[in-house]
Structure 1
Amino acid sequence: MTFTLATETAYEEEIKKSRFQAIAAPVENEQQVKEFLEKHLDVSTTHQCWAWKIGHNVRFNDDGEPSGTAGRPILATIEGNELTNTIVLVNRWYGGIKLGTGGLVRAYGGCAGQCLLLAEKIEQIEKKAVYFQCQFNEWAIFQYELNSQQIDYTEQYTAQGVSVEAMLQIHQIEPLKLKIQDVTRGREHLKVLEENNA
C-alpha cells in the first residue's frame, strides 16, 4: 500500500545556526514538480535541495551540497514513509558553522522526515484512464454520474456527440461500463486506455 500527501506541509528548524525549512507537497506529474519548484524558488537561501517520487520515477538534487548529503536522504524519507506522488524541498540558510557530511545527511533527512510526520497522508489509489462517447442527450446522465462519484473528467463536443476521458479508480470501472451499455443500449463501450506509467 502506498500513500500520497493530502496537502502541502512545511516544517522549520535551526541546526547549528543554519536554518532548515522543509516543504512537502503532492504532485501528479513532472509539470507539477516544475511549478512547485518555481513557486518556492527563494534566492535568499544558500541551498534548495529536493527529491520527488512519482510512481517508479525518482529524482533528487543536492543543489551544491556535497554529493549524496541532501537529495538522497530526502528521497530516503519519502520512500521510508511509503509515499509516492510526493515532492519534498529542503531550504537551507547557512549560519556559519559547517555540519560535515554526516551532519548534512542528518539535517536534510531529519528535517524532511519531521515535515512528513506532520503531513496528512492519504492512501494512493490506483486509477486508470478511460474513454467513452455518448450522444448529447445522454451526456447529462453521465455527467451526473461522474460528478456524484467525484471523478475527474474532460469532455469534448464533436459533431457526433460527446467524447469523454476520465480517471477512474479500479472499482469504479465495471459499474460505469454497465451504465454506458445500459444508457446507450449497447451502442457505446467504455475503453480503458493503456498507461505508459505504472
Structure 2
Amino acid sequence: MPFTIANTVIFEEEIKKSRFQAIAEIVENEQQVKAFLEKTKDISTTHQCWAWKIGHHVRFNDDGEPSGTAGRPILATIEGNELTNVIVLVNRWYGGVKLGTGGLVRAYGGCAGQCLMLAEKIELIQKKEIVFSCLFNEWAIIHYELTQQQIEFQEHYTETGVMVEARVQVHQIDPLKLKLQDVTRGREEIKVVDDQTHDA
C-alpha cells in the first residue's frame, strides 16, 4: 500500500557554509506542483532543486547544479521512503565553498531525506471520481447521504435538477448506487469518471 506525508515539513541545515532548506508537501496533480513551485519561488536562493512523484509519474529538476547531483538524489529519497503524491524542494544558498559532485549528491539527498524523516506518513486510499444527476426534490436526501459519509462533492444546478461531481472511496460506490436508484426510482445511475489515489 503506498503512503504519502500527512502535512508540510521543513528541514534546514548548513553544509560547508552553504545553507540548505528542504520543504516537503503533498501534491495530487501537476497543477498543485506548479502552484507549490510558484508559492516557494525565492530569488535569494542560488538554486531551487526539486523532485516529485504522483502515482507512477515522476519529475525532477537540478536548477543549474551539475546534472544528476540534485533532483535525482531528491527523487531517490522519495522513492526510498516508498512515498507518492509528494514534492520535495531543496533550496540552496551558496556559502562560498564548492562541494563537488559527490558532496552535492550527499547534500541534496541527505537534506531531503532528513526532511522526510520528520514527516508523518499516512496510507493512501484509492478513490474514484463519480458523476450523477437528480431532481431538485431528490437532492436533500442525497445531500444528507453524502454529508453523512463525509464524501467530497460539488453540485451544479441545472434547469432540470442537480448535477453532482464527487470523490468517493471504492467501497462507497455500490451503496451510493443503490441509494441513488432508490431515491430516483431507478431513473439515474452513477458514472465513474476515473481512478485516483488520495491520502486517508
Q: TM-score range by the shorter chain?
A: over 0.9
Aligned residue runs from structure 1 range 119-130, under 5 A: 119-130=119-130
SS in 1 for 2:125: coil
1:103 and 2:103 matched: yes
> Which residue is 1:62 aligned to?
62
Superposed CA RMSD in Å reads 1.4
CA contact (8 A) 2:2 2:123 kept: yes
> Which residue is 1:30 aligned to?
30
* Aligned equivalents of 2:193, 2:37: Cα separation in 1: 30
Identity of aligned pairs, percent?
76
Residue 17 of structure 1: CA displacement? Answer: 1.0
- Structure 2 unaligned residues grouped into runs of 5+: none
> Which residue is 1:116 aligned to?
116
SS in 2 for 1:79: helix
* Aligned equivalents of 2:14, 2:149: Cα separation in 1: 45
> Which residue is 1:93 aligned to?
93
Give 1:166's aligned amino acid.
A
Of the structure 1 ranges 145-154 and 130-139, higher mean CA displacement relative to structure 2 is found in: 145-154
> Which residue is 1:83 aligned to?
83
Residue 170 of structure 1: CA displacement? Answer: 0.8
> Which residue is 2:166 aligned to?
166
* Residues matched between the structures, number: 197
* Aligned equivalents of 2:157, 2:144: Cα separation in 1: 17
Deviations 1:55-90 (A, max 9, x none): 121110000000000000101111111111110000
> Which residue is 2:7 aligned to?
7
Residue 148 of structure 1: CA displacement? Answer: 2.2
Give 2:190's aligned amino acid.
L
> Which residue is 2:182 aligned to?
182
SS in 2 for 1:107: helix
Give 2:68's aligned amino acid.
G
Give 2:99's aligned amino acid.
L
1:143 and 2:143 matched: yes
- Structure 1 unaligned residues grouped into runs of 5+: none
* Aligned equivalents of 2:85, 2:100: Cα separation in 1: 31
* Aligned equivalents of 1:145, 1:95: Cα separation in 2: 58
> Which residue is 1:192 aligned to?
192
1:49 and 2:49 matched: yes
Give 1:110's aligned amino acid.
G
* Aligned equivalents of 2:144, 2:196: Cα separation in 1: 29
Give 1:45's aligned amino acid.
T
SS in 2 for 1:154: strand
SS in 2 for 1:139: helix
Give 2:191's aligned amino acid.
K
Residue 196 of structure 1: CA displacement? Answer: 9.5
Give 1:161's aligned amino acid.
G
Give 1:138's aligned amino acid.
E
